Amino acid sequence: GGREDLAGRHVVVSAGGTREAIDPVRFIGNRSSGLQGYALARTAVARGAEVTLVAANVTLPDPAGAKVVRVESARQLRDAVLAAAEHADAVVMAAAVADFRPVRQSDTKIKKSSAEPDPIQLVKNPDILAELGEIRRARREAYAGGDGAYEAPAGRGPGTGDGAGAPEEAAPGGPGPRVIVGFAAETDDVLANGRAKLRRKGCDLLVVNQVGENLAFGTPDNAAVVLTAEGGSVDIPRGPKEDLADVVWDLVAQRLA
Ligand code: C5P
């Protein structure tokens, strides 16, 4: 505590779990409590950041000092995260986003019938983390004239977030967040699956949880390994979600420095 190493930075954190409506009373959801995302938001506020917390179906009280945007579905979460990311130095996707949603949402409650129930057909949701990485990659290319090297435009110092000096026509909306962090819950081959996921999604850091053994979902404790885009890894032993959050912000602050 007491560090102000995120002062002047704007960070976006997504938390909780999305719900995909089947009809007005039913949804497809998941067991995410939002505890880890809220711990990330609280610790970022404590370290001086301006925090936008995009919360999907979380029942916890708003963390003091954070701007909270409440959403329900994956598509709502996407819109809120992408909008906030325009002015962000870092985005941390701690939310459990539904991979699929029902093709149709019934306007009226689906009735029990004596006949066999209709199967619920699913369609893929957007992958927000992958999209963030893709937007950033495309904009960096535009700024650099295609050679892949990103040069911050003059007038856009760290944390100003105003995109001043950005070549508007080449890359509308600024260069995108400098640090993108994903979370992944894996049950097996944790490191190999994590590495593949980090590459696939184009993020800078991936926090990989081992699921099971009463860890992660709905518990105050977590244990994880953070994989870096450069091939490094940082072990976070089992402990409070606040401790894991602080290690994530240590790594984010290093990358922003
Ligand atoms: O692919 P998987 O769901 O394991 O990836 C988890 C990471 O990707 C999390 O950071 C989660 O917030 C993000 N995600 C996303 N959009 C999806 C699915 C996952 O941003 N549709």
pLDDT-based confidence at residue 216 (cuts at 50, 70, 90): low
pLDDT-based confidence at residue 42 (cuts at 50, 70, 90): very high
Q: Which letter does DSSP use for residue 119 in this model? A: P
2 CA distance to ligand 1 middle (Å): 32
Of 61, 58, 65, 59, whose CA–CA distance to 44 is shortest? Answer: 65
Is the pLDDT at 118 greater than 70, yes or no?
Answer: yes
Report pLDDT for 188. 87
Atom of ligand 1 nearest to the CA of 206: 10
Q: What is the pLDDT of residues 120-146, one digit of tens each?
A: 999 999 999 999 999 999 988 887 765
Is the pLDDT at 240 greater than 60, yes or no?
Answer: yes
The ipTM of this complex is: 0.98
Report pLDDT for 213. 58
- Ligand 1 pocket by C-beta < 6 Å: which residues? 74, 93, 95, 97, 99, 125, 127-129, 182-184
Residues linked to residue 67 through DSSP beta bridges, in sequence order: 52
CA distance 215 to 209: 8
Report pLDDT for 97. 98
| Beta-carbon contacts of residue 86 (< 8 Å; ≥ 6 apart) | 163, 173, 174
Report pLDDT for 44. 98
129 CA distance to ligand 1 middle (Å): 6
Helix axes 190-201, 128-143, angle to 10 degrees: 50
Q: How many CB atoms lie within 10 A of CB 36?
A: 30
Is the pLDDT at 157 greater than 60, yes or no?
Answer: no
User: Binding site residues for CTP, as ranges?
Assistant: 99, 109, 126-129, 183, 197, 201
Report pLDDT for 211. 75
184 CA distance to ligand 1 middle (Å): 7
Q: What is the pLDDT of residues 43-85, one digit of tens each?
A: 999 999 999 999 999 999 999 999 999 999 999 999 999 999 9
